[in-house]
Chains A and B, each alone.
Chain A
Amino acid sequence: GDSVTQMEGPVTLSEEACLTINCTYTATGYPSLFWYVQYPGEGLQLLLKATKADDKGSNKGFEATYRKETTSFHLEKGSVQVSDSAVYFCALASSGGYQKVTFGTGTKLQVIP
Chain B
Amino acid sequence: EAGVVQSPRYKIIEKKQPVAFWCNPISGHNTLYWYRQNLGQGPELLIRYENEEAVDDSQLPKDRFSAERLKGVDSTLKIQPAELGDSAVYLCASSPEASGRSMYNEQFFGPGTRLTVL
Contact = CB atoms under 8 A, between A and B. Distances in A.
A105 B43 CA distance: 8
For chain B, give the interface size range.
Answer: 20 to 34
For chain A, give the interface size range.
Answer: 20 to 34
Interface of A: 4, 32, 41-46, 49, 51, 89, 91, 93, 97-106
Contacts, number: 51
Interface of B: 3-4, 40-45, 55-56, 91, 93, 99-100, 103-112
B42 A43 contact: no
A74 B99 CA distance: 28
Contacts of A99: 104-105
Contacts of B3: 43
Given A43-B3, A43-B91, A44-B91, A93 B42 contact: no
